[in-house]
Amino acid sequence: MDLFNKVYKEHNYTIAKEKGIYPYFHKLYSGQDVVVDMEGNRTIMLGSNNYLALTNHPEVKKAGIEAIEKYGSGCSGSRFLNGTLNIHEKLEKDLAEFLHQESAMTFSTGFQSNLGIISGIVGRGDYIVCDRENHASIYDACKLSYGKMVRYSHNDMEDLERKLKEIPSEAGILIVTDGVFSMSGDICKLPEIVELAKKYNARVMVDDAHGLGVIGKHGRGTGEYFGLEDKIDIYMGTFSKSLASLGGYMAGKKEVVEYLKHNSRPYIFSASMTPASVCCANKALDILKREPERVERLNKVSDYMRKGLKEKGINIIESKTPIIPIYTYQDDKTFIACKLLLERGVYVNPVVSPATPVGQSLLRTSYTANHTEEILDEAILKIKEVLDIVSKL
């Protein structure tokens, strides 16, 4: 059999292209903002993770430019060997202090961070207990590790305890959960997870990619939101969202960080973060620290949009975050809705099976701290108009 046989079969994406409703890879001709130039058209951006609106901040851009001028475009090696710059260590120190952790380490991408942390710390005979709605990078990390993965129903603490009870008492256990779940926007039940971890002698890892800069009074994420910063054993997060750059990190006890620096293959065998990415992330972190009101503004924007959508009778998933999913239920209707919205100047992200259960497809909308009420009102009207059309199909 030819390995490429699968390539030439009919797929969902080829069908969508034939129908003219393919929703992916739309080109931007401008930077991330509340209104962008998408394929030559003015488009309201409701699909970005630029939560704190820092990707175009003049200080962030200046930091990246100055980094390239001083250090060049890349590091030409891994952190383990020649690729460690003083700015890497400064970012890690600043990040650890901000998160109230002893130490931190950085990875070249967020996806790689989960791969590197989980595969580095979980070995043979260990167990990873994983929320079913965790990010795909966590699942791939579980496959890369030598441990056994056990999944529990989303945010179901009774199911989590059932799964923990079944694990041999002599096994090492890592409970892994998203802090803010990227598709639904809901928040993990961290207090209950921490209690169960204590009861069953497990460690807790929180993927706070969508939590940092989003929840908590100062934007420190899920731990701060619940007042449990000292109960999380491993913090993971990314720089590609609130911190306006590219890369990822792990923060925790000094000994855990040191162990991973010497045992994480994705960390040891990958080139380090580029100078521009490092300095942009560090400058964004500086701005978050001095302007925590950006987090408050982001929450006000999100609350305004939730209220406006519900007043129009639009069925959303309730959350307390800037991720507001809108039910469209069927994959085809989701693609059609995206196409009609884009034609009207609004971009949203389609979420279809298998990313969601069959029959629960979504339009994932997300918001930034500089969305104005005028822009949001315009978007609400267009979303309502399109959903009314799609509902009749």
Find the CATH number of the domain harbouring 40: 3.90.1150.10
Q: Where are the beta strands (DSSP E) in the chain?
A: 35-38, 41-45, 103-107, 127-131, 148-152, 173-178, 203-207, 234-238, 248-252, 323-329, 346-347, 349-351, 361-366
- Same domain for 227 and 92, yes or no, is yes
Q: What pLDDT is attached to residue 202?
A: 98
Q: What is the CATH number of the domain that holds 108?
A: 3.40.640.10
- Same domain for 37 and 173, yes or no, is no
Q: What pLDDT is attached to residue 127?
A: 98
Q: Give residue 223's domain range.
A: 58-290
Instruction: Check: CB of residue 335 under 8 Å from CB of residue 22.
Output: yes
CA distance 111 to 2: 31
Give the list of residues 6+ apart from residue 207 with CB closer than 8 angstroms, or none.
114, 134, 135, 138, 176, 177, 178, 179, 236, 237
List pLDDT tens digits, range 307-339.
999 999 999 999 999 999 999 999 999 999 999
Q: What is the DSSP-derived secondary structure letter of residue 27?
A: P
End position of a domain, from candidates 272, 290, 308: 290
Q: What pLDDT is attached to residue 292?
A: 96
End position of a domain, from candidates 290, 313, 329: 290
The residues that are catalytic are: 182, 210, 241
The candidate with the shortest Cα–Cα distance to 116, out of 167, 80, 160, 74, is 80
CA distance 281 to 104: 14
Single-letter code of the amino acid located at 376: L
- Same domain for 69 and 110, yes or no, is yes
- Same domain for 77 and 218, yes or no, is yes
Q: What pLDDT is attached to residue 393?
A: 86
- Same domain for 229 and 344, yes or no, is no
Q: What pLDDT is attached to residue 119?
A: 97
Instruction: Check: CB of residue 237 under 8 Å from CB of residue 216.
Output: no
CA distance 111 to 48: 17
What's the length of the chain?
A: 393
Q: What is the DSSP-derived secondary structure letter of residue 40?
A: T
The Cα-based distances of 296 to 51, 183, 370 in angstroms read 11, 22, 11
Instruction: Check: CB of residue 342 under 8 Å from CB of residue 26.
Output: yes
Q: What pLDDT is attached to residue 12?
A: 87
Instruction: Check: CB of residue 380 under 8 Å from CB of residue 312.
Output: yes
| Regions in the chain scoring below 70 on pLDDT | none
Across the beta sheet with 346-347, the strand order is 35-38, 41-45, 346-347
Tell me the longest C-alpha to C-alpha distance in the chain. 60
How do strand 103-107 and strand 349-351 relate by DSSP bridges? unpaired
Count of beta carbons in the 10 Å neighbourhood of residue 200: 17
Structural domains in the chain (count): 2
- Same domain for 249 and 110, yes or no, is yes
The candidate with the shortest Cα–Cα distance to 220, out of 96, 113, 108, 320, is 96
Reduced DSSP (H G I as helix, E B as strand, rest coil) percent helix, strand, coil of the chain, to 5: 45, 20, 40
- Same domain for 360 and 252, yes or no, is no
Single-letter code of the amino acid located at 255: E
End position of a domain, from candidates 290, 318, 333: 290
- Same domain for 69 and 173, yes or no, is yes
Q: What pLDDT is attached to residue 358?
A: 85
Q: What pLDDT is attached to residue 121?
A: 98
- Same domain for 160 and 272, yes or no, is yes
- Same domain for 145 and 212, yes or no, is yes
- Same domain for 267 and 330, yes or no, is no
CA distance 361 to 385: 19
- Same domain for 136 and 267, yes or no, is yes
Q: What is the DSSP-derived secondary structure letter of residue 31?
A: -
Q: What pLDDT is attached to residue 356?
A: 83
